[in-house]
């Protein structure tokens, strides 16, 4: 009698446990079309989570350039100056692989012609367009503004003039990427025309030898 009750208790326990497990882990049956719809829905959710954002298209690229420039001085004050300088710049793509902005600081230090000395610094801001010509070669064309701090002095003639004027910039450049490297090398021609009339500074033009990195 006791053995029968023991086996009966075990059977009752197994039945209750099976019923509870069945209610907890209910299975659903789907047709082939329903399964395909569910897979597509999950794929769309995954693509939506991993889709590229505009910020993924932004690259920052510092660059360094050696400058050869020609600065025109008003007739009667001084001959025009051919001088060398250095440029440090920082560029950024504008949510596109074709549009960019760039800020640059240019320092020419002091240049001398006979007894005359010219001191020039510039701070530039440009917005430009770039595109690939061939696999490794690209062009860049840009417009912008510059603040020119220029000083002309001649101790013998008693000349001392200084100004800080805005200028309009236009530039065109060709750059080539190095194989398996984030570096680019190139040349850029730029022209600067004063936005405000000046007694002695008549603008300048120059050629930049550029070393650029993409990050």
- Return the pLDDT at 64: 94
Residue segments in the chain with a per-residue pLDDT below the cut of 70: 1-57, 75-79, 215
Tell me, what's the pLDDT at 15? 58
Spatial distance between the Cα atoms of 206 and 32, rounded to a whole number of angstroms? 70
| pLDDT number for residue 157 | 75
pLDDT digits (tens, 9 = 90+) for 138-173: 999 999 999 988 888 887 877 788 888 899 999 999
For the record, the structure tokens of 47 come out as 């693509």
Decide: pTM greater than 0.75. no
Please choose, from the candidates 140, 137, 85, 89, the residue with its C-alpha nearest in 3D space to the C-alpha of residue 111. Answer: 85
Hey, what domains does the chain have and what are their CATH numbers? Answer: 2-50 (no CATH), 56-213 (2.40.160.20)
Q: Strand 81-93 relative to strand 60-73: parallel, antiparallel, unpaired?
A: antiparallel
In 10 A of CB 152, how many CB atoms? 23
The pLDDT score that the predictor gives to residue 47 is 47
């Amino acid at each position: 009698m006791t053995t029968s009750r023991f086996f009966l208790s075990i059977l009752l326990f197994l039945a209750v446990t099976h019923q509870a497990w069945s209610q907890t882990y209910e299975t659903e049956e789907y047709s082939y079309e329903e399964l395909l719809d569910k897979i597509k829905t999950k794929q769309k959710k995954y693509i939506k989570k991993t889709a590229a954002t505009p910020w993924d298209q932004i690259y920052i690229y510092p660059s360094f350039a050696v400058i050869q420039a020609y600065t025109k001085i008003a007739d009667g004050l001084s001959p025009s100056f051919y001088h060398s300088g250095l440029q440090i710049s920082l560029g950024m793509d504008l949510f596109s692989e074709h549009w960019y902005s760039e800020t640059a600081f240019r320092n020419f230090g002091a240049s001398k012609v006979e007894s005359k000395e010219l001191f020039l610094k510039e701070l530039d801001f440009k917005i430009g367009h770039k595109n690939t010509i061939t696999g490794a070669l690209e062009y860049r064309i840009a417009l912008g503004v510059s603040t020119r701090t220029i000083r002309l002095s001649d101790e013998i003639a008693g000349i001392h003039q200084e100004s800080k004027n805005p200028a309009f910039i236009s530039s065109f450049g060709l750059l080539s990427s190095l194989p398996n490297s984030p570096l680019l090398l190139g040349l850029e021609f730029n022209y600067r025309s004063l936005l405000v009339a000046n007694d002695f500074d008549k603008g300048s033009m120059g050629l930049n030898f550029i070393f650029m990195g993409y990050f």
